[in-house]
Copies of this chain bind each other. A is one copy, B any other.
Amino acid sequence: MSLELTQNQIVDEDQLSLNLIEAQYLLKNTRDQKNAKSVMILVNGIELAGKGEAVKQLREWVDPRYLGVKADIPKIFNPQQPFWQAYANAIPATGQMMVMFGNWYSDLLVTAMHVSKPLDETEYDRYVEDMRAFEQDLKNNHVDVIKVWFDLSWKSLQKRLDNLDPSEVHWHKLHGLDWRSKKQYDNLQKLRQRFTDDWQIINCEDEQQRDQQFAQLILTALKDCPEHLSKTRTKWKQAAIPESLLQPEHTSLNHEDYKKALKKLSRKVAKALRCDERRTIIVFEGMDAAGKGGAIKRIVKNLDPREYDIHTISAPEKYELRRPYLWRFWNKLQTDEDITIFDRSWYGRVLVERLEGFASPPEWQRAYDEINRFERDLVQNQTLVIKFWLAISQDEQAARFKAREETPHKRFKITPDDWRNREKWDGYLQAAADMFERTNTSNAPWHIVATNNKYTARLEILRAILKQLNAD
């Protein structure tokens, strides 16, 4: 359904401004509240239609302190980055509005029109579908996404080009398209019609009407503060807990054999990680003291610290809580580093946040699909995602906790929280079981590794990395 607003009323400007400001303050005041939201406005359209003017006019009507404007020059897609990567940083915090001139749709159009081997229709439509799924995830996580297409007929465009002040030509050349070419104009219109079904379309023949229409639809979006779902629709179906979690295998290996195998394997892993063209993301989850740190140490043994990033994930900061929960991970992937290791990860959403009630049932139950889409976007962009659950028995954990308490330089690793978390052991196993069932995808499978014996566990982890590097 295309929302072309044809009959538009011109309202009193002062009144419109007042309404906008009031709505902005309403939005601002949702910050840190249950119904918190932010508004992201994607702006695209025909050159000279007046996107810039409409945004400038909006900026004059609202309180500019709470309206961000981000303008990126459209870029051809980077095959190693999901389409949202370059824009993740600009996603507004709750209470804020952000206008984005450059966005994933402008990149899509530029990619479709500029590359030597253009996207075929299937690829193009898949992008559009992925973008909509991403936007839906944003909406579910309190970021309202408004999409506005500023349209202009071929005839009007030509007339505006004729009347263009020569001093402004400089700017209009920037976009690298020939707006005198009817063929190109038609192509662009055809392409954009493949995604503008759910956009607001503004006909920009009349400038005053254009600015008012834009402001009015922003006003509507601002006013519409949804009550977020607090109940789930369906009853949760608990997955069965796999035996590998209930009874992690007890294995043994003598120190000599371990040392020998480790030396060989860790060299192989370093080499394989280095030589792979793809980016690699390695995720560790598991109970406290299951051996995440030790395993990571062996992975990076033959790497230089300049070759990898390790992120140790703990509770989010306040400014992170004002964004979708995946946001802080999107930002951590905005790097040139080819190897990224997460000691705990986005799976916290369906583990600790579920158990501790930081995420409501609708939130964590929705998260599995969101995480799957996130990982799929990575995998589709030349990234390998390797996920480990380190399975330890409750007795072995207790023994390690005690050993930590008795070793001065390891004491920092153990806190009263760790002992308390043991009381939720069964809850964590259930959460882990649900997580495996729902996020063990072909894109990014889980490896469950028994870690009662650290030696065999570490070797198994290295072998699994090698295998996934070579097999994929």
Residues on B with C-beta less than 8 A from A55 are 305
A21: B residues at CB distance < 8 A? 409, 412
Q: Which A67-81 residues have a C-beta within 8 angstroms of B?
A: 69, 71, 73
Tell yes or no: A267 within 8 A of B by CB.
yes
A52 within 8 A of B: yes
Give the interface centre of A61, A168, A318, A407 by most chain B CB atoms within 10 Å: A168
- Choose among B71, B317, B409 the residue that contacts A14 (Cβ–Cβ < 8 A): B409
Contacting residues of chain A (285-334) with chain B, CB-CB under 8 angstroms: 293, 297, 300, 302, 304-307, 309-310, 312, 314, 317-319
Q: Which residues of A contact B (CB under 8 A)?
A: 14-15, 17-18, 21, 25, 52, 55-56, 59-61, 63-65, 69, 71, 73, 99, 101, 167-168, 170-171, 267, 270-271, 274-275, 293, 297, 300, 302, 304-307, 309-310, 312, 314, 317-319, 336-337, 343, 407-409, 412-413
Instruction: Pick the contact of A64: B270, B312, B336 (CB < 8 A).
Output: B312
Among candidates B15, B25, B305, B319, residue contacting A69 with C-beta atoms closer than 8 Å: B305
Task: Determine if B307 and A171 form an interchain contact, defined as CB atoms under 8 angstroms apart.
Answer: yes
Q: Which 6 A-B pairs have the closest CB atoms?
A: A71-B306, A18-B409, A52-B304, A17-B409, A65-B312, A18-B408
- Between A63, A71, A319, A337, the greatest number of chain B beta carbons within 10 A of the residue's beta carbon is seen for A71
A56 touches which of B14, B64, B275, B305 (Cβ 8 Å):
B305
Residues B14 and A304 in contact, CB atoms below 8 Å apart: no
Q: How far is the CB of A166 from chain B (nearest CB, A)?
A: 10
Contacting residues, chain B, for A300 (C-beta < 8 A): 56
Chain B nearest Cβ from A35, distance in angstroms: 21
CA A468 to CA B454, docked complex, whole Å:
68
Residue of B nearest to A66 (CB): B312
- In the assembled complex, the CB of A65 is this many whole angstroms from the nearest CB of chain B, namely 4
Query: Is A305 in contact with B59, judged by CB distance below 8 angstroms?
Result: yes
Closest to A16 in B: B409
Contact B307 A274 (CB under 8 A): no
- A102 and chain B: residue at smallest CB distance: B306
Residue numbers in B under 8 Å from A337 (CB-CB): 71
| A331, chain B: closest CB distance, angstroms | 11
